[in-house]
Amino acid sequence: MDSGIWRKRPRVRHFGAINGRGLATFYRREVHRGFKIWGITLAAPAIRALLFAGVFTLVVGGSGKIALGMPFMEFLVPGLIAVAILERAFESAAFSMVYDKTEGIFGDLATAPLTPGELVVAYAGASVTGALIAGTVVWVALLPLGGQVPVAPLAVVYFAVSGALIIGLFSQIVGLWAPKWDYLAGVQTFIFLPFVFLSGVFFSLDQLPAALQPWARANPIFYIVDGVRFGITGHADANPLTGVIVTLVCIAVLSALSYRLFAIGYRFKS
């Protein structure tokens, strides 16, 4: 009797305001996608962070260089962790969507019983999950090279989650917009990477020429990196409260935009 044949007639499944099972299924699929290629999503960021840390250790090597009032490596390591979190978040939703587009199954989103809000939450949840795991892996990998146990764990958690959320939402928007891999790679190389690399990961902003400093402070990613660094080392460039406000505003704007794009079926319903 238990051979997989329907024993009862199939019934309509009812759900309330939120399709919890659909949400969980979609979230699981997205997270699983990231983990299936853990060599690329976890091991590679750890190797890259180790390379950067190793190269800077060798170049700076015992010259007693100080940044923001701490030894340079202590300054650098939280930045590298933030980069790993942000890169993983960027590569999550957008890559998944463009993959679905090239496979021709992206339109399935429009037929699944998921509201735009549920889609945004599921994609964003998967982005944050993947990014936090990548960040933890890189944190562990960098412990011997100047890493440390966070002095303000709550601040680390807040800025890591909000940073992953901001970039995860940005990634959704890019993924909806991009028709092909080329577009995605273009956004990554020409927009995302410059914003991340010039956000104070590798240098404190007072090392920049005075004319450029206000511009660097207009980069929201600066507040994420600075917040993570504050949580880990206790030293910050900007006021962490400013960072909290900036991140909250970014999350509100980006989630509204992403919600709107899913609601109108931007580039996937015609």
Partner 1 sequence: MADLMRKDTQTPAIDKTGMLLGPPVVRSIGVVNWRGLWTLYVREVTRFYKVGTQTLAAPVVTTLLFFIIFSVALEGDGRTVGDVPFTVFLAPGLIMMAILQSSFANTSSTIMVSKVQGNIVDVLMPPLSSAELTLAFAAGGVTRGVLVGLAAGTAMWVFAGLQLHDPLAIVFHAVAASVMLSLLGLIGGIWAEKFDHIAAMTNFVVVPLSFLSGTFYSIGRLPEGWQDVARFNPFFYAIDGFRYGFIGRADSQLWVSVTVMIVINAALFALVYRLFATGYKLKS
Residue 207 identity: Q
| Three-class DSSP category at 64 | coil
Is residue 65 at the binding interface for partner 1, with CB under 8 A as the rule?
A: yes
Output phi, psi for 71, to 5 deg. -55, 145
Closer CB to partner 1, 54 or 107, in the complex: 54
Is residue 18 at the binding interface for partner 1, with CB under 8 A as the rule?
A: no
H-helix or E-strand containing 66?
A: strand 66-67
How far apart CA 139 and CA 136 sit, in angstroms, is 5
Q: Which of 100, 203, 242, 244 binds partner 1 (CB under 8 A)?
A: 203
How big is the site for partner 1, counted in residues (CB under 8 A)? 32
How far apart CA 36 and CA 66 sit, in angstroms, is 40
Closer CB to partner 1, 145 or 193, in the complex: 193
Is residue 134 at the binding interface for partner 1, with CB under 8 A as the rule?
A: no
Site string for partner 1, 43-62 (x = CB under 8 A): xx--xx--x--xxx-xxxx-
Q: Which one of 6-14, 20-28, 124-132, 203-211 is the stretch in contact with partner 1 (CB under 8 A)?
A: 203-211
Q: Which of 4, 5, 11, 63 binds partner 1 (CB under 8 A)?
A: 63
Q: How far is the CB of 47 from partner 1 (least distance, A)?
A: 6
Task: Estimate the share of the chain in helix, then strand, then coil, as percent rounded to the nearest 5.
Answer: 75, 0, 25
Is residue 208 at the binding interface for partner 1, with CB under 8 A as the rule?
A: yes
How far apart CA 176 and CA 185 sit, in angstroms, is 14
Residues 6+ away with beta carbon under 8 Å from 121? 23
Is residue 70 at the binding interface for partner 1, with CB under 8 A as the rule?
A: no
Residue of 58, 59, 51, 39 whose CA lies nearest to 80: 51
Instruction: With beta carbons less than 8 A apart as the criterion, state whether 97 and 181 touch.
Output: no
Q: Which of 6, 9, 103, 190 binds partner 1 (CB under 8 A)?
A: 190
Q: Which one of 2-10, 122-130, 178-186, 227-235 is the stretch in contact with partner 1 (CB under 8 A)?
A: 178-186
How far apart CA 142 and CA 150 sit, in angstroms, is 13
State whether the Cα torsion 225-231-235-238 is positive or negative: positive
What tokens were used for 230?
């504050």
Q: How far is the CB of 159 from partner 1 (least distance, A)?
A: 21
Q: How far is the CB of 221 from partner 1 (least distance, A)?
A: 14
Closer CB to partner 1, 65 or 260, in the complex: 65
Closer CB to partner 1, 68 or 128, in the complex: 68
Closer CB to partner 1, 56 or 90, in the complex: 56
Q: What is the DSSP letter of 70?
A: E
Give the interface with partner 1 as residue ranges (CB under 8 A). Answer: 37, 39-40, 43-44, 47-48, 51, 54-56, 58-61, 63, 65, 67, 182, 185-186, 189-190, 193-194, 197-198, 201-203, 207-208
